Amino acid sequence: MESAARDSDEPPTVGVVGAEQDTVERIRAAVAEANAVPLAGDATSVGDAAFVVAGGERALGELASAEVDVPVLAVDAGAGVRSVAAADASAAIAAVLDDEIARTTRRAFAVRVGDERHQAVFDVTLVTTEPARISEYCVAAGGEVVSQFRADGVVVATPAGSRGYARAAGGPVVAGTAPVAAVVPIAPFAIDTNHWVVSNEDVVLSVERDEGSVSLLVDDRAVGTVDPAAPVRLSPGHELELLCPPGSQPPW
C-alpha cells in the first residue's frame, strides 16, 4: 500500500481535528513524539497535511463536510469505522509514519433538504421533537415507495452507522464498504415491523402526517425541523479514506 507520509527530507505535517481539547492535545503530543509536525485546527485547515488524525465521531463528520481528501486515522470514532483507541494513538501514528498501512473507505450520505446541504458519515434521523409523539413517515428508494408507517421516527444509516443507533433500534449490521443504506423505524406503532436494506443511490424520507414538530438529526446533531412539504433526500456523499494500522477495529 502507498505510504500516508510524504516523501521528503522535511518532517511530515499531520493534521489533528477533534471536538474535545484534551483529546486534541494528547494527539498533538503523540504526533510530535513521532517526529512529525502537528497541525491542529478545524477540518477546513488540514487539507495539505500528509494525513489527518480525527479524534471522535464528530471530527469525521467535519472532515466529510469539508470534503477533505487526505487519508484519515480515526481515534475513538465508534464501532463502524476502522478506529483505534485513544490509548493506542501514539503507536498507530508511528505505524502510519513508518510503514505502508492498509486503507479502506467509508462513504457518507449527501443530505438535501430544500436549499440545505449536509454530510452524514453515520446516520440521518427524523424523530418527533416532543418525546412519545407519533408521526407518519414514508421511505422511498430508487423512485419506489419502500414503506409508510407511524412511529416516533426513522433512522437511515450508512454502513458505518449501522452499528450505532440503527442497530439499537433493531437494524442489521452492514459491511463497511457496501453501497447501501439501512432503514429502521424508531418505536413503530405496529406489532409486526420491518427494517430494510436499500441502495444508497436515491433514498427519500418524508413526513406524511405530523402530530408535532419533527426534528432532523445528522450524525446525532440537530440541524433543523422538517415539515410535510420538505422531503429529505439522501445520495452517495463524500468518501473518506481511512488508515488501518494494526489494532484498528472493526476488521472490515
Given this model, what pLDDT does residue 130 score? 76
- Cα–Cα distance measured from residue 142 to residue 25, given in angstroms and rounded to the nearest whole number: 45
The reported pTM is 0.92
135 in the same domain as 85: no
159 in the same domain as 71: no
Quick one: CA dihedral 144, 146, 152, 155, positive or negative?
Answer: negative
**Among candidate residues 78, 100, 122, the one where a domain is terminated:** 100
> Could you give the number of structural domains in the chain?
2
138 in the same domain as 81: no
**Among candidate residues 73, 100, 127, the one where a domain is terminated:** 100
Distances (CA, A) of 67 to 36, 47, 53, 94, 107: 24, 9, 15, 25, 11
Domain annotation covers residue 250: no
Domain with 47 in it: what CATH number?
A: 3.40.50.10330
Provide the pLDDT confidence category of residue 5 given band limits of 50, 70 and 90: low
Given this model, what pLDDT does residue 23 score? 85
Considering only CA atoms, give the Rg of the chain: 19
218 in the same domain as 200: yes
Provide the pLDDT confidence category of residue 1 given band limits of 50, 70 and 90: very low
Are the beta carbons of 180 and 159 closer than 8 angstroms?
Answer: yes
68 in the same domain as 28: yes
Given this model, what pLDDT does residue 100 score? 79
Given this model, what pLDDT does residue 50 score? 95
| Element spanning 64, H or E | helix 57-65
Given this model, what pLDDT does residue 10 score? 84
212 in the same domain as 115: yes
Q: Does residue 246 have a pLDDT over 80? A: yes
For 45, the domain range is 13-100
Q: Does residue 218 have a pLDDT over 70? A: yes
Q: Does residue 6 have a pLDDT over 60? A: no
Strands 72-75 and 51-55: parallel
Which of 118, 131, 96 has the alpha carbon at shortest distance from 215? 131
Mean of per-residue pLDDT scores for the chain = 91
Between these two residues, 120 and 87, which has the higher pLDDT value? 120
Given this model, what pLDDT does residue 132 score? 65
Q: Does residue 40 have a pLDDT over 80? A: yes
CA 115 to chain centroid, in Å, comes to 21
53 in the same domain as 27: yes
